Amino acid sequence: DAGVIQSPRHEVTEMGQEVTLRCKPISGHNSLFWYRQTMMRGLELLIYFNNNVPIDDSGMPEDRFSAKMPNASFSTLKIQPSEPRDSAVYFCASSFSGGRSREQYFGPGTRLTVT
Amino acid sequence: DAKTTQPTSMDCAEGRAANLPCNHSTISGNEYVYWYRQIHSQGPQYIIHGLKNNETNEMASLIITEDRKSSTLILPHATLRDTAVYYCIVNSGGSNYKLTFGKGTLLTVNP
C-alpha cells in the first residue's frame, strides 16, 4: 500500500492567495483527519471526516479554512485568503473506524509558507 | 482521555535497547495506550498500542503495568534511524477519534 499521499509537499505563497492542499487516504480507510503542526502549538486536529461526512470541524481556525471530502479517496483543505500565521506543516491522516482501536496513519505533510 | 507524562528527552547508545516510560495514572478501564513517533520532517508514525496485555510487533514491544498506570515502549536494538520524538497517548477508541499529542520524549540514539 502506498500509504497516505499528500500534495504538494511544499507550498510557498503570498499573503492573500488561495491555497489548496490535497490528500489521498489509504484504500479501505473510512476516517480522515487534517492536522496542523507548528512549533508554538504542536500538533492540532483541524477536522475529522467519517465516511466522507465532516463530523468535527471545531479545530478549524476560522472561516478562511474549509475542507471537503467529495469521495472516499480524496480530500482537500483550502485556505482563502492565506495569511503569514497560517505557515505550518499540514498533515492528513486516515484510519479504519470499524474496529475498536483507532490507530491513525499519517501522510508526509505539506509544508506551507505564506509570505 | 487520561493525561500522560513522559520525560522530555532520553539518550540511548546504538544497538542497545531503548526503554521509553510513560505515566498515565488516571487511565480508565476502556482506554488504550498508543505509541507514535515523529522523525524529523516526517509525519507521525503509528508504532503500537495495547489495552492490558503486553504487545509486540516488528517495531517495538509495549509493556503495561498490571495496574495500567504506566507503560514502557521498548525498542530492542536502537539504530540511528530511531532518533525521533515518541508520543504516548491514551484513547478509548471506538467513537473517540481524538488523539491528543503532547510534547513527547525526544529519543536521541548515539553512535
pLDDT of residue B55: 95
Q: How far is A97 from chain B (nearest CA, A)?
A: 7
- Cα–Cα distances in Å, from A42 out to A35, A76, B6, B100? 10, 22, 16, 10
The whole-number pLDDT of residue B99 equals 86
Farthest CA pair distance, chain A: 43
Q: Is the pLDDT assigned to residue A50 strictly greater than 80?
A: yes
| pLDDT of B29 strictly over 90 | no
Decide if B93 and A102 are in contact by the 8 Å CB cutoff: yes
List chain B residues with CB under 8 Å of A50: 97
- Look at B43 and A102 and tell me if their CB atoms are within 8 Å: no
B97 close to A (CB below 8 A): yes
Cβ separation B46–A103 shorter than 8 A: yes
Model confidence pLDDT, tens digit, residues B5-22:
999 999 999 999 999 999
- Cell numbers for B20: 521509553
**Segment among A23-37, A93-107, B37-51, B57-71 with least mean pLDDT:** A93-107
Q: What is the pLDDT of residue B1?
A: 64
The answer to whether A44 and A65 are in contact (CB under 8 A) is no
Q: Are A56 and A37 in contact (CB under 8 A)?
A: no
Q: What is the DSSP letter of A26?
A: P
Residues B43, A45: C-beta atoms closer than 8 Å: no
| CB of A26 closer than 8 Å to CB of A47 | no
Task: Tell me the C-alpha distance between A1 and A4, whole Å.
Answer: 9
8 Å CB contact of A102 and B91 = yes
Instruction: Show the cell assigned to B33.
Output: 495506550
Whether B94 and chain A come into contact, CB under 8 Å, resolves to yes
Average pLDDT of span B87-107: 87
